[in-house]
Amino acid sequence: MSEPEIPPLTAEQALGAVVARLGAEIAAPLTAALDRVRFMANSGRIGRADLLALRDEIDLARQAGMRGQQIARITSGQIHPMPERLRLDTLLRQVLDEQVAQSAGVGSHPDLTAVTVLADPSLVGTVLRAAADWSLSQARASIGWRLWVQDWPVQACLVCHFVHLPEDVAIQPAGLPADRAQHLPALDTLDWLLLKFSAHLCGVQLQRDDSPSDTTLTLRFPHTVTETLEDSGDGQPVAQRLPPGSQVLVLAGRREARQRVREALQGHDLFIDHVASVAEAAQYCADGPPQMLLFESAFDGDALRALVDRMAPASRVLVLVEITPAGRQVGVGQLGERPVTELGADALRDELASVLAQALAQASAAPG
């Protein structure tokens, strides 16, 4: 049983978590360094081993301070992502190659499919490095990495698995089933907080499942470029052409939502109509259902479910897209017995055409 996607922290929770971890991760190595300096002063002996250990302790405190600065920059609200086409597998290999020198015997085994995403290069780099640094700092054996593209919703999935405590010393909490997902606070280091905040800003969804001995981290990249995207003449990705002449009905009360849909579907030979209520949608569908029905979340209810149930027998292909109020997420839900693609309003311009193309292809291929 997996944990749901990890939600973002509130501003107060974020500040408290960062301050607490920053204090702990700076105080611990500096305390050890201070004890070491006192020992050398009292003994009058300064050995090479003590100097090397002192250097490492000071460096740990310095790294904690740098992580705190990175988190402060990301949470300041002054970073504005600029998405580009990026090869996710290539970036991850670069990060893992850079990490070899500091792996201290903990290797990695990547199984990476070629994947292209639309994302901010700097932020994606921060996400991947934070994930690699966090897993390396916690792992007690080799780290497994796997990258592939999930069929539906279409998105890149990156999974990192490692052992954080040997099984012979790991203790299962009393009364908790062995397959029950956990979240161990001891693993919530500054590297983890940096990963969490940078992933949220980048639009990457995180899921973490801890057991007493193992951890599995999953990163999902909703803005994934697949075979439904191709290059236009200027090198920019454009969505695959939707079937010309298809009918699209947009059920939206807000003018802004209707305008975003029109902009997202510009260049496609479609019949796009708008209605502002379920009653108007029912009247429209009396002459025949559309191939695609887009509706704002506010209209999800019994009346819309009843309308869809009446439409379904008359339409072999019926694609439903729910426009959620904000965000860039792509997900899958249900409207009665019918599958629905959930799409954040902020992602309409970039994602709507490819989401519709994919959903149409799946609906057309479905039996019956």
pLDDT of residue 135: 94
**Residues constituting the chain:** 368
Contacts of 312 (CB under 8 A, 6+ apart): 318, 338
Final residue of a domain: which of 194, 225, 256?
Answer: 225
Element (H, E) at 46: none
How high is the pLDDT of residue 121? 86
Residues 122 and 197 in one domain: yes
The number of folded domains in the chain is 2
Read off the pLDDT of residues 37-71 as tens digits, 9 standing for 90 and up.
888 888 888 788 878 887 888 877 787 777 777 88
Q: Are residues 282 and 203 in the same domain?
A: no
Task: Express each pLDDT in 156-179 by its tens digit.
Answer: 999 999 998 766 565 655 555 555
CA distance 340 to 322: 7
8 A C-beta contact, residue 53 and residue 46: no
Structural domain including 189 reads: 11-225
Residue 338 lies in a domain: yes
Does residue 352 fall inside a structural domain?
Answer: yes
- CA-CA distance, 245 to 6, in Å (whole number)? 41
Q: Which of 225, 251, 286 is the last residue of a domain?
A: 225
Asked if 116 contacts 225 with a C-beta cutoff of 8 angstroms, the reply is yes
Domain match, 191 and 260 both: no
Instruction: For strands 247-251 and 271-275, give the pairing.
Output: parallel
Give yes or no: residues 99 and 245 share one domain: no
284's enclosing H/E stretch is helix 278-285
Q: What is the tens place of the pLDDT at every residue in 144-160?
A: 999 999 887 788 999 99
- pLDDT of 332 strictly over 60: yes
Q: How many helices and strands, by DSSP H and E, does the chain display?
A: 9, 16
CATH number of 21's domain: 3.30.565.10
Q: Look up the CATH number of the domain holding residue 261.
A: 3.40.50.2300
Task: Place 23 in a pLDDT band, splitting at 50, 70 and 90.
Answer: low
Q: How far apart are the first and last CA of the chain?
A: 33
Residue 209 pLDDT level (bands cut at 50, 70, 90):
very high
Burial of 262 (0-12, 13-18, 19+ CB in 10 A): middle
Q: How many other CB atoms are there within 10 angstroms of residue 193's CB atom? A: 25
Of 179, 195, 225, which closes a domain?
225
344 lies in the same domain as 197: no
272 CB neighbour count, 10 Å cutoff: 17
Cβ 278 vs Cβ 253: under 8 Å: no
Residue at 62 is within a domain? yes
Cα–Cα distance measured from residue 58 to residue 25, given in angstroms and rounded to the nearest whole number = 11
Residue 234 within any structural domain of the chain: no
Q: Is the entire prediction scored with pTM above 0.85?
A: no
